[in-house]
A and B are shown apart, each in its own frame.
Chain A
Amino acid sequence: MVSVLLVAAVVGIALGVFLQKGRFCFVNAFRDFFAYKDSRVTKGVLAATLLTMVFWGIAYQFGYYQEFWTPEWGLTGFIGGFIFGIGMTYAGGCASGTLYRAGEGYLQFWLTLLFMGVGYVAFALAFPTLDSTYFETFTFGEGVSLFTVSEIPASVLALSIAIGGLLIYVTLVGRSATTADLSERSDTAQLNLTAFLAPVAGLRQFVRGTETYFRGLVGAWRDPLASSKQPWDPRTAALGITAAAVLWFTQASIVGVTGPEARWSGYLLSQVGVDVESYEYWGSVLFQGEGVDVTVDMVMIAFVIVGAFLAAAWSGDFSVRVPKRRRLPNAVFGGLLMGAGSRLAPGCNIGNIYSGIASLSVHSFIAALGIIAGVYVMTHWIYREVGCAL
């Protein structure tokens, strides 16, 4: 038990540090891509998810794993994900982003956390009704990970998907780089050739970019103290998060945020005398009949806040930040929608976009689409006066 707690502390602190230093936020990743085509954090999120998928696939194939995230699949993922996506964009931070910003000293995000808690409690109270209406109506099949049903060895499957994803990415990059030439030339033979060359051009650009990145990383090591105080590339955060997630996957579980948070809400209520265990959602779903107590994943996410605090304090980014009064609705309603949405899905941006897709869980593909759709709609609303690029 002590060793698992130690792993929880190490993983939590590492995640907090990398999230804070890379400003690794899923709202940022999608919102800024939709608003003005800024894809730096989007690339970090994609890299972290695909890399984690490869390593988890390998770990699964050789039996070094604890579990995948595979809830029953259906429209619940899309509806809950959509509500969660709206909420996280309005709040200004995703489930993991809220944690690391809480560690940086944002009172606004402590308030968001509080109202996410209210969302969890409201959901737990309404669960018996929701179970027979919402979940029964919108669930279509048993939860499944493609890793477990595929004939292809998990490591090969994961690698092929990652390589496929990379090829699509470099083709898109290559095409946007070659369209400039295209407009100047009009013969069709040239057009066909360019279609062929796009992946090659894109791949070359990708290799160059990666090389520059690693050279920069090596350069940064020459003065590690100064570099550690600078902001880090989201790709560095992606590498660090992947390492922490692989350790967590082999020792404890998938990385989740809102599940453990919902357990925290039940645990804290039990400490003030509420008979939490008698509620079906907490008793049999979240704590699985094993009694309301602090579990290792609850410890792990608490350490994310600690890690973010340490990283922020070290970089001179920590301060107690008081929100403007006009931002309080963002924390209150954003938090409520995140809490409720993450339970209706179930799963947040980490459970469904990061861990869920890395688990190749059918449920999470649908939920991720719902979350991204929610961010898209909300981004257009927030940017309504100045316009979005997409």
Chain B
Amino acid sequence: MPSIDDVTDTPDELSDDQAEDLLEDADLVQDMMGEVCPYPQVEAKKGLQQIDSGDLLVQETDHVPCTENVPRAVGDDADATVWRSGDATYRIYLRKR
């Protein structure tokens, strides 16, 4: 059955537990609370330049469009998943390829 996800092109969402576990493993965490586009996109690209292949970059953000724009901005450089708290905070997980 087709769902809205087929057309909105958003990254896969993590469950609360997955999100917590992965955050502990993160190699670089960027605090993007209060920041709006395009700065999180630029910082994500810079952050990915600093870490090694296979490493995990996590951005914490309260800016809704970032959950789509940041994964699109890094493109093929990383595999992206997001976590939505349901309460206007989000985390973007970028695993460098």
Chain A contact residues, CB within 8 Å of chain B: 23, 25, 27-28, 31-32, 35-36, 38, 40, 92-93, 101, 104-106, 108, 212-213, 215-220, 222, 227, 230-233, 235, 312, 316-319, 321-324, 327, 379, 382-383, 385-386
Q: How far is the CA of A92 from the CA of B38 in the complex (A)?
A: 7
Q: How far is the CA of A107 from the CA of B57 in the complex (A)?
A: 27
Q: Which chain A positions have C-beta within 8 A of B72?
A: 32, 36, 38, 40
Q: Which chain B positions have C-beta within 8 A of A219?
A: 1-4, 6
Contact: A23 with B46, CB < 8 Å? no
Contact: A23 with B34, CB < 8 Å? no
B64 to chain A, nearest CB (A): 5
- Residue from B36, B46, B68 within 8 A of A92 (CB atoms): B36
Contact: A319 with B3, CB < 8 Å? no
B9 contacts chain A at the CB level, 8 A cutoff = yes
Question: Given A215-B2, A219-B6, A383–B35 Cβ distance below 8 Å?
Answer: no
Q: How far is the CA of A93 from the CA of B34 in the complex (A)?
A: 14
B19 to chain A, nearest CB (A): 15
- Residue from A105, A232, A379 within 8 A of B8 (CB atoms): A232
Contact: A38 with B65, CB < 8 Å? no
Q: A-B pairs with CB below 8 Å: how many?
A: 117
Question: Given A32-B72, A383-B42, A216–B34 Cβ distance below 8 Å?
Answer: no
B interface majority secondary structure: loop
In addition to A23-B65, A218-B2, A231-B10, 8 A-B residue pairs with Cβ atoms within 8 Å of each other are A23-B64, A25-B65, A36-B75, A40-B9, A212-B7, A323-B36, A379-B38, A385-B42
Q: Which chain B positions have C-beta within 8 A of A322?
A: 34
Q: Which chain A positions have C-beta within 8 A of B6?
A: 212, 215-216, 219
- Residue from A38, A232, A321 within 8 A of B73 (CB atoms): A38
Q: How far is the CA of A120 from the CA of B31 in the complex (A)?
A: 35
A137 to chain B, nearest CB (A): 35
B10 to chain A, nearest CB (A): 6
Q: Which chain B positions have C-beta within 8 A of A383?
A: 38, 42
Question: Given A319-B88, A382-B38, A28–B65 Cβ distance below 8 Å?
Answer: yes
Most chain A beta-carbon contacts within 10 A, residue among B64, B73, B89:
B64
Q: Which chain B positions have C-beta within 8 A of A323?
A: 34-36
Nearest opposing residue in chain B for A222, CB measure: B1
Nearest opposing residue in chain B for A323, CB measure: B34
Q: How far is the CA of A31 from the CA of B72 in the complex (A)?
A: 13
B69 contacts chain A at the CB level, 8 A cutoff = yes
Q: How far is the CA of A216 from the CA of B86 in the complex (A)?
A: 23
A-B contact pairs, 22 of them (CB 8 A): A27-B37, A32-B41, A32-B72, A35-B73, A38-B69, A92-B36, A92-B37, A101-B36, A108-B36, A215-B2, A219-B4, A233-B9, A316-B86, A316-B87, A317-B88, A324-B34, A327-B34, A327-B39, A379-B38, A383-B38, A386-B42, A386-B49
